[in-house]
C-alpha cells in the first residue's frame, strides 16, 4: 500500500491514496487557512469511523435497524506530552437494539483495524533522499 504526499501551498499537506485526495490544513492560529482538518483530527476521526464501520456491519449482518445509531468519542490527553492517553468510545444503540447483542457489538468495535494498529504499532522507517 502506497500513499503520495504533496504540499499544495501554505500549511496544506495532501495525501493521494487510491482515487482520493485527503486534504489537511493547519488552523488559522497555527498559520494555516483552516480549510481542512489538521492531520491529527483525521487520525482521531479514522479511529471513530473505523469502529463505526464494524458496528454498522454487525447490525446489518443481523438485520438490526440502524436508525438512531450513533457513536461518541472522547479523548484524554497527557498534559506533558499532549499525546492521547485514553480513548472512550460510546456506542449509542437504537431503542430497538436487542440487549443480547450489547457485548457483541462492543467487541465488534474493538476489531477496528485503526485501533488494532495503535495497540500493535508498526515499525517506522523514515528516510530522506535528494531528488535528481
Residue 32: domain span: 1-36
Query: How far apart, in Å, do the first and last CA atoms of the chain sit?
Result: 25
Q: Which cell is 107 given?
A: 467487541
pLDDT digits (tens, 9 = 90+) for 72-95: 999 999 999 999 999 999 999 999
125 is a domain residue = no
Read off the CATH number of the domain in which 86 is found. Answer: 3.30.300.20
Q: What is the mean pLDDT of the chain?
A: 97
pLDDT at residue 1 tops 90: no
pLDDT digits (tens, 9 = 90+) for 18-55: 999 999 999 999 999 999 999 999 999 999 999 999 99
pLDDT at residue 10 tops 90: yes
108 with 80, same domain: the answer is: yes
65 with 108, same domain: the answer is: yes
Alpha carbon 23 to its chain's center? 14
pTM of the predicted model, to two decimals?
Answer: 0.89
pLDDT above 70: percentage of residues in the chain:
100
28 is a domain residue = yes
81 with 48, same domain: the answer is: yes
76 is a domain residue = yes
Amino acid at each position: 500500500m502506497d500513499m503520495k504526499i504533496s504540499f499544495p501551498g501554505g500549511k496544506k499537506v495532501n495525501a493521494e491514496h487510491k482515487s482520493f485526495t485527503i486534504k489537511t490544513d493547519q488552523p488559522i492560529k497555527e498559520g494555516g487557512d483552516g480549510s481542512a482538518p489538521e492531520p491529527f483530527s483525521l487520525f482521531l476521526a479514522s479511529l471513530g469511523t473505523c469502529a463505526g464501520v464494524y458496528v454498522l456491519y454487525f447490525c446489518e449482518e443481523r438485520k438490526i435497524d440502524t436508525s438512531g445509531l450513533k457513536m461518541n468519542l472522547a479523548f484524554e490527553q497527557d498534559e506533558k506530552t499532549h499525546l492521547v492517553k485514553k480513548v472512550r468510545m460510546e456506542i449509542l444503540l437504537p431503542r430497538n437494539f436487542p440487549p443480547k447483542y450489547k457485548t457483541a457489538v462492543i467487541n465488534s468495535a474493538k476489531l477496528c483495524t485503526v485501533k488494532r494498529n495503535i495497540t500493535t504499532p508498526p515499525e517506522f522507517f523514515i528516510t530522506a533522499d535528494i531528488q535528481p
